[in-house]
Amino acid sequence: MSDQVSLRWEQAGYSDVAAAARQGSDVGVEFANGDVVRIPAATFGVTDPDFDVEPGPDEGLNVRVTMSDGRTIDLSWTQIRSAHDPFFAQELRRRDAEQSKKVGLRLKALREDRNLNQRSLAEAVSMSAPQLSKIESGTSDLRVSTVQSLVRAMGAQMSDLAGPDALEVSRKNLRKRAEQAGVSADVMDRLVSFPPRGFLVRTLSQAFGWPQEAIVEGILETPQLNVAMRLKAHHPDPLQSPLIHLAYEAARAVRSGSSAPLYNGSSSDPAEIRSQAKDATGRVTLESLLDWMWGRGIPVVPLLGKSGFSAAVWSIDSVPIVVLKEARPLAVYWLFDLAHELGHIVLRHISDSSLVDIDAPRPDSSTDTDENAASAFALDLLLPGHRQMLADVRTQSRGSHLRFKFAVEDVAAKAGVSGGLLGMIAAYELVDIGEDKDRWGSASNLAKVDGHGRPVAEAVAGRYLPVETMSEIDATLIRAAILTGQAAIRE
Amino acid sequence: MTRVFLFHDVYAVYVWDERDGRHHRPHAHICVRGTRIATVFLETLDLYDESERIPKELMEEIGARQEDLVSLWIEVNENE
């Protein structure tokens, strides 16, 4: 079928009856686009030889046939056109098939999300399971009343088959496919269950760049993010997780909707920042550093999710925005990662492109100059004089992991720094004391004292994110993936 | 043929007997002053042959009346 033929029913006047009259034994109709058609009246079941034809009563959409006994038949334009135009009739069949397929798939998705098997649903509406299977595959010419019965039997409504969130795969399958595409279950669970009615597909599309029509069909392929960025990883060719797309979109939403002041540059001197960012006790804590950064116009986004990447710093309209993830939940790790990302900002590592740390930032052992510089900055900011502290821990440990924890606690207390933070750095660096598991066991115990990072980061972010004034889609994204309610746990 | 409702005195929505029209999925026609501007399938609310933009409010109205429109289609087309 040529394009010209296939599109003619979309042209003006194709469906509009301009005039109608009897022409011999035919119904003659002139359409508004100039088409004149003649169809034997018998085609429409008219057997009375003494009939009459005139334009119908409904806005030029039909033709009225009147019999000699006064009875009337109204013929719609679709009846007339499909009786005369085989291409149009074929188009109607194609649309019907397309709709049957969609309805079948949506019925199946509804059933699966209600944890009903085919047999029990089929029994509920007095049909066989194979019949239902055919309906769900869209190959059966199902009656509309059957669709109604199936919808009711599932406790659903016809509106569940329609609208922007009517999926052709179950939400359960969507989660599975998202996981295969690299979206961790914790993120997907919230993004699937959180958005209000009508916002599911739009939110997922915004978050991961998946086309809306593809999401409805369950096809989840994340496009490359069209943003200048460098991926920092131990692996030479790291994968670009869909969560990086989510991180960028979250950062963009925060950039456009936060009440943070405009960033105006910052000193790169860790001592100077330390003096400004410390809390009342003289320590730089996760909360005090978050407060300082937001107050300086550097939003910090605590993004949901454990996998994909560790942290990132985006430059959006020349504003730096840090995204932290909970690869490691304890606050001391969040604090080190945050200081590391701040290092990238003040050392101007993002002047020409954004930066994504795929692996968790470490204080040591990177061959990447920027990574080493950012980690050195973080250590100077959080643990000034850390070399001496580590030497003291080594001395007091006297080579035994049994004394490691107490040595860290003692040195940290004297220096006025977090024992959890010093323990983490010492566990990385003092590899000659005990085995890894021993040092890290002690470090984790010490780190627990400072609690978890997400509640703190959400509480501070919540002060700068007036979601009620943002666009609906940005507010939904932020509520689903950033402000998850963890701040309330901390209160 | 049934004109189901008139929206804002401009948009008329019709459901009619299409048993001879080779159609079996329920749909309605949206018309403005005697000209059809779109067809909407009543199960999915998908639009076809949109010759002008259908206002969001009209689609919301059709959505709100979806159950009634489907029942009317059944009454006209399936009850024999």
Whether residue A190 is found in the same domain as residue A100:
no
User: Would A368 be classed as within a structural domain?
Assistant: yes
Structural domain total, chain B: 1
pLDDT of residue B68: 93
Any chain A CB within 8 A of the CB of B34? Answer: yes
**How many angstroms away from the CA of A60 is the closest CA of chain B?**
5
Instruction: Check: CB of residue A42 under 8 Å from CB of residue A6.
Output: no
Full residue range of the structural domain in which residue B63 is found: 2-77
pLDDT of residue A434: 87
pLDDT of residue A351: 79
Whether residue A118 is found in the same domain as residue A142:
yes
Token pair recorded at residue B67: 């159950």
Closest residue by Cα to residue A299 from A333, A256, A246: A256
Residuewise pLDDT in 10s, chain A (491 residues) = 444 555 788 888 898 899 999 999 999 999 999 999 999 999 999 999 999 999 988 778 889 999 999 999 989 888 899 899 999 999 988 999 999 999 999 999 999 999 999 999 999 999 999 999 999 998 877 889 999 999 999 999 999 999 888 999 998 889 889 988 888 888 888 888 888 888 889 999 999 999 999 998 889 988 888 888 888 877 766 677 889 999 999 999 999 999 999 999 899 999 999 999 999 988 999 999 999 999 999 999 999 987 888 899 999 988 999 999 877 889 999 999 999 999 999 999 987 788 888 887 777 666 778 888 999 999 999 999 999 999 999 999 998 888 999 999 999 999 989 999 999 999 998 988 988 898 999 999 999 999 999 999 999 999 999 999 999 999 999 999 999 887 665 55
The shortest CB-CB distance from A159 to any of B16, B17, B63 is to: B63
The answer to whether the CB atoms of B20 and A58 lie below 8 A apart is no
The answer to whether the CB atoms of B43 and A60 lie below 8 A apart is no
Q: Which residue has the higher pLDDT, B17 or B9?
A: B9
Any chain A CB within 8 A of the CB of B56? Answer: no
To 5 degrees, how large is the angle CA B27–CA B32–CA B35? Answer: 80
Whether residue A209 is found in the same domain as residue A175:
yes
Full residue range of the structural domain in which residue A398 is found: 386-448
Whether residue A105 is found in the same domain as residue A21:
no
Whether residue A205 is found in the same domain as residue A332:
no
Strand partners, A29: A20, A37
User: Would A89 be classed as within a structural domain?
Assistant: no
Q: What's the complex ipTM?
A: 0.93
The shortest CB-CB distance from A12 to any of B14, B17, B51 is to: B51
B77 contacts in A (CB within 8 Å)? 144
Whether residue A54 is found in the same domain as residue A198:
no
Whether residue A323 is found in the same domain as residue A469:
yes
Whether residue A153 is found in the same domain as residue A187:
no
Q: What CATH number should be reported for the domain holding residue A32?
A: 3.30.2020
User: Would A90 be classed as within a structural domain?
Assistant: no
User: Would A295 be classed as within a structural domain?
Assistant: yes
Whether residue A461 is found in the same domain as residue A315:
yes
* Residue partners of A264: CB distance under 8 A and separation at least 6: A296, A297
CA distance A457 to B53: 45
- Strand pairing of A319-324 and A311-316? antiparallel
Whether residue A147 is found in the same domain as residue A282:
no
Question: Of A65, A84, A103, which residue is a domain's last?
Answer: A84
Whether residue A341 is found in the same domain as residue A428:
no
Please report how the helices A369-382 and A270-277 are oriented relative to each other, as an axis angle in degrees rounded to 10.
40
B22-36 tens-digit pLDDT: 667 899 999 888 788
The shortest CB-CB distance from B22 to any of A74, A82, A102 is to: A82
CA distance A263 to A242: 28
pLDDT of residue B80: 47
Q: Is A309 left (phi over 0), alpha (psi -120 to 50) or beta?
A: beta
Give the dihedral sign, CA A283/A289/A295/A297. Answer: positive
CA distance A300 to B48: 45
3-state secondary structure of B79: coil
pLDDT of residue A9: 86
Instruction: Check: CB of residue A89 under 8 Å from CB of residue A78.
Output: no
The answer to whether the CB atoms of B1 and A89 lie below 8 A apart is no
Closest residue by Cα to residue A364 from A391, A392, A403, A336: A336
Whether residue A457 is found in the same domain as residue A436:
no
Cα atoms in the Cβ-side hemisphere of radius 13 Å centred on A240: 17
Structural domain total, chain A: 5
Which residue matches tokens 């000659």? Answer: A432
* Mean per-residue pLDDT, B47-65: 93
- Report pTM: 0.81
Instruction: Check: CB of residue A228 under 8 Å from CB of residue A354.
Output: yes
DSSP assignment of A395-439 equals HHHTT-HHHHHHHHHHHHHHHTS-HHHHHHHHHHH-TTSS-HHHH
Give exposure, A228-259, as e/b (b: 16+ Cβ within 10 Å): ebebbbeeeeeebbbbbbbbbbbbbbbbebbe
**Inter-CA distances, A25 with A34, A75, A76, Å:** 22, 16, 19
**How many angstroms away from the CA of A98 is the closest CA of chain B?**
10
List, in sequence order, every beta strand (DSSP E) within B1-80.
2-7, 11-15, 27-32, 35-41, 47-48
